[in-house]
Amino acid sequence: MGHTPLLYILAAWVAAGLALARVRTEEGEDFRTQPRDEWPAGQSAAPSPYILYGPHGYKTFPHSRCQEVPTAEVALAEIEGDWFLQEYVNSHDGKPTGAHQPYLCPESRMSFVTNVTGGSMNASQISYEWPATFMDVVEWVQHPKKTGVFFHEENVFSLWTMKVMEFDAQKHMAIFLCIDYTIWPGWNHRGVYLFSREQEFKGKIKRKLSDKAHRRMRMVFDRKVNTTSCNPDDYLSFARERWHPHKKINKALIRAPVSPYISRKHRRNLAVLD
């Protein structure tokens, strides 16, 4: 019984030590279960994990974050027109549509129509999904501070980020694409895509990301696209348009019930995105 006050004192010291070691996020989780190098530095209140790690939230896999890559300055009007996909390196990380599925010749052309005053653009591309053919038109919104970064929120389930790594308005551009999924924790898509103004790209671009970076992001599927064995215009008459607005849901695309409790609060904060 005489040791009871001492136990109280020891317990108080332990509690105080744990309180000091605890680094909490806006949602209340603490970082003690994360690797030490992932703890926030020099602050007691960490940003939301939905900002740090994407919409799938806390304790996701490190390779599933939308990575930092070098970005170029892009004048929105200069991206207008047709571009042809020449080659790409990507990974789908376990989602139902595998990365082994190649882009076919009709899908190689991507056309951009820009809205300079609105800071956005529409990118259209044929999607050959036999026995159906679609023309996907996707709305991209430019980052307010980084002209080479664009966002498309497909719906409350997925946020797409496109980062232009190299840009020559007359010749080529290299982009990094990252898609974060809410309903598949830890699974996302990332890839590097090389586009050319001409159907046959005769130049060569130095790889922007190292082999080590590709492996770290699980980008292990290299593909070159045959851009000359067809005329994409021949497929336009067969294609049915699929309009993908930014931050709005095209009801014609809904193929599954949507819960009324789904919230956009568990999204990356577009105001502070990289």
Of 23-32, 43-52, 76-85, 237-246, the range with the lowest mean pLDDT is 23-32
* For residues 215-222, average pLDDT: 69
Domain ranges of the chain: 4-46, 76-272
pTM more than 0.85 = no
For residue 255, count CB atoms less than 10 angstroms from its CB and return exposed for 0-12, middle for 13-18, buried for 19 or more: exposed
Q: What percent of the chain has pLDDT above 90?
A: 35
When mean pLDDT is compared over 178-182, 193-197, 200-204, 221-225, the highest value belongs to 193-197
Per residue in 1-53, pLDDT tens?
A: 555 566 666 666 555 554 444 444 433 445 455 566 655 565 555 554 444 44
Give the pLDDT score at 186.
55
Give the pLDDT score at 102.
79
Tell me whether the omega of the peptide bond preceding residue 102 falls within 30 degrees of 0, making it cis: no
Give the pLDDT score at 38.
55
**CA angle at 130 for the pair 126 and 132, rounded to the nearest 5°:** 65
Query: What's the fold here for domain 76-272?
Result: Lipocalin (2.40.128)
pLDDT above 90 for 65: no
Strand pairing of 132-142 and 240-244?
parallel
* For residues 213-227, average pLDDT: 76
Q: Considering the chain, what is the average pLDDT of its residues?
A: 75
Give the pLDDT score at 197.
95
Strand pairing of 24-25 and 172-181?
unpaired
Q: Under a CB-based contact definition with an 8 Å cutoff, are residues 108 and 225 in contact?
A: yes
Tell me the pLDDT band of 272, cut-offs 50, 70 and 90: low
**Amino acid identity at 95:** K
* For residues 50-72, average pLDDT: 57
The encoded tokens of residue 226 equal 């045959």
More confident residue, 226 or 39: 226
Give the pLDDT score at 206.
72
Of 39-43, 85-89, 248-252, the range with the lowest mean pLDDT is 39-43
